[in-house]
Amino acid sequence: MSEQQDACAGLEVYRVGGAVRDARLGWPVKDTDWVVVGATAEDMRRRGFRPVGRDFPVFLHPESHEEYALARTERKSGHGYTGFVVHASPDVTLEEDLERRDLTINAMAESTDGRLCDPFGGLADLQARRLRHVSSAFVEDPLRVLRTARFLARYHELGFTIAEETWALMAELAASGELAHLVAERVWTETEKALGEPSPAVYFQALEACGALRVLMPELSSGQREASVDDASAPRAACGALTRMTQLPEAMAPSPRWRWGRLVEALGGEARAALAERLKLPKRYRESGEQLARTRELRLVVQGEGDRGTDRGTDREVAALMAWFEAIDGWRRGERVAPLVAILHQDSPSLADDADRAFKAALGVEPRDLVGEGFQGGALGRELSRRRYRAIETALA
């Protein structure tokens, strides 16, 4: 095969990171990243690779479009995730490139013929189900606290734990003030990924255990910092809301958006808004939190904690349901009602059934019929509310 047919011919190329880790773990491999040793940026461009890296030399393969990065080292030069000077040259060795990585299980490389390069014991840690930092340079990047917590959330069900010495470095970073230099977008990117992992609650538990949660998301923190954790596989819960993250209908359970909503639904309005602003939340996540908060309020107004049943058709229940439909903008955004009713069913099956029945009955009141009867303006709105109320009252009688 000629160089024209294979852009990598003659290059010293290694598969690195997640693809190597997950293949040996039996985990699905979604993306493959490569590192190129002994080449320059000009070498890559000449072979047809397209440069895409802003902070360090990364290129897309001309055919597969997979990422190929030149081997590089990093030196701390400032605060936060971006405070690094990157050095990429043909002189940087594969081991030097792997040494800058966060965890040993992410610091393995594999040659194109399948030979494993594992200078930091990543395979042994993978087999021991252990998350361990590569070197003391771990503390130079505060984002690694969140990444380690996220990997724990991903592999927790496989029995992974965080090494005691790595817990210590995470606590050191949390206490150092470095976490405050992380931009909101980076914090949220890691958090959103964690919300999609098999054990998302473990992410928040780990951040609480090392003291990072009260720095980054104080509204979710119990405020009790743990510098050491006896059982690293199950650090103490960050807050009681974590159990609600798993209380979703099966079809919705993997949804990061609704998991987030369940997490923040019990926060006060000001706390929820402050957290959303600090993390620069996307609109759909803000809305999920608000809608579930309103749904929780409905449950508490009608029947308090638990599912004690409802006295169907009472003014209290009908008025609460009317207020809920208004609060979630259900009349105009009817598609919002079904998923919220499904989530409500996890806490209060009887009230969820009432809400579903009430909404269907109220939809039977057509505004155009009232217009045909001569109602206009404010009178139309008042009559529409009155008849919807009566329709709900009748349906729940």
Residues with Cβ < 8 Å from 217, sequence gap 6 or more?
204, 207, 275, 278, 279
The domain locations on the chain are 1-127, 246-396
Closest CA to 191 of 225, 219, 149: 149
pLDDT tens sequence across 108-127: 999 999 999 999 999 999 99
pTM: 0.87
Torsion sign across C-alpha atoms 341, 346, 352, 356: positive
pLDDT tens sequence across 290-322: 999 999 999 999 987 666 666 667 899 999 999
CB 96 within 8 A of CB 73: yes
pLDDT at 190 over 50: yes
Closest CA to 260 of 234, 232, 291, 236: 291
pLDDT tens sequence across 200-236: 999 999 999 999 999 999 999 885 434 333 343 333 3
Q: Is domain 1-127 given the CATH code 3.30.460.10 in the classification?
A: yes
Mean pLDDT confidence for 238-256: 81
DSSP type of residue 244: G
Mean pLDDT confidence for 39-63: 89
Amino acid at 295: T
Torsion sign across C-alpha atoms 337, 339, 345, 346: negative
